[in-house]
Structure 1
Amino acid sequence: MPLGELRPSPLVEQATARLREQITGGHWPVGTRLPGETTLAKELGVGRSTVREALRALAGAGLVRARQGAGVFVIATEPAEDWPTRLRRAAVNDVYEVRMALEVHAARLAARRRTDDDVAALRAALEGRRAASASDDDTAFVDADIAFHAAVVAAAHNPVLADLFTEFTPVLRTGLVDLLALTGLRAHGPNHADDAHEAILRAVADGDAEGAAEIVRKEVEDPFGSLGAG
């Protein structure tokens, strides 16, 4: 199957796409050694540097791997999904199970490590949640709710936990907004679970690590409580 010369435009992107088609279409199965850069460049009608960049892109997608002195080999026929993509496709229950571990431990660490600034940020976030509860806008309420929990995670002073929470946020936000719309829960209590959130703040501020962890655990464990927990 001839590769065919490329049209003028971003050549690296075109070369990457053309080579990807050969791999995902089965023309080059797993274990196949790709033609050399010179051969690929000639078939595609581009320079070797363009081919080299295209191969790097394919390696980044998990499709090929260079073996020193042997060449470039196909190692997969489907590109590897990055973490945000996998999260978007994950079941809500799976996300919540991981969220449980993350937020409970973050609350425990926050109670041990919080500073005065962290406590002030938590108070501001709680007030923001209360202000958002006065609106009929469920999305604004969920955003304010997530902001409170993000402040708890931030108070843990662990950048890896903070980054993980940031990655989870889009999936959590969508799930919580959808759940509110389905249940109409806020029609019966616009500021749902406010007491629990105040208790989280109090436990963190008092340095009660196990108390903070337990309150967050209960909030996340209960799907209806989690509407308030964000």
Structure 2
Amino acid sequence: MSRQSFKVCFCFKRIFKIKGAEPPDDIKRLFEQYSENGTMTLEQLHTFLLNFQEEKATKEDAQAIFNSLKHLNIFQRNGLHLEAFFRYLFGDLNPPIPSKVHHDMEAPLTHYFLYTGHRSYLTGNQLSSYCSVDPIIKALRKGVRVIELDLWPNATKDNVDVCHGGTLTTPVELIKCLRAIKDHAFSASEFPVVITFEDHLTST
């Protein structure tokens, strides 16, 4: 909580306290889990880093966090209280998870959420845009793992096109889409690519 002072009627000064953002309830519960009597000690912070954050942190790392907060008036000599802990969580010493795989990737495919494309072949809107391999390649280069293709017979019924049926979208040949997937499937990720086909080739 910071303080600011203002002159009132040009004759005396009043000091107002400005209340900062209140830690949300889940942060409060987390702090209570790893603290005692409203204070998180160096050892408790180290335990938090190991068990909750799953970091390969040393006590020196925990001490560095303590040292970074000592200049703030929210720091207590015996450890961190809630506001200091909250400040640490959303500060530079606790950056976002790096953009790399950090989970166990040996489980069956059904155990994971997949980065999924929808009508991956469209260059624009779903009613009148062109169908192309370019959006498919772009998606794969971003790490998309599920590509959706809508299959329709071409105008002469002797080949397969990919398009959004019943609209004015301009089709692209299926073989071109499959070649693009083959060439770029693993340009951004080593993990499997799933191709979903919406089959409109046979009438029911």
Aligning the two structures, in what range does the TM-score lie when normalised by the shorter sequence?
under 0.3
TM-score (norm. length: structure 2): 0.25
Q: Which has the higher strand share?
A: 2
Greater C-alpha radius of gyration = 2
Q: Which has the higher helix share?
A: 1
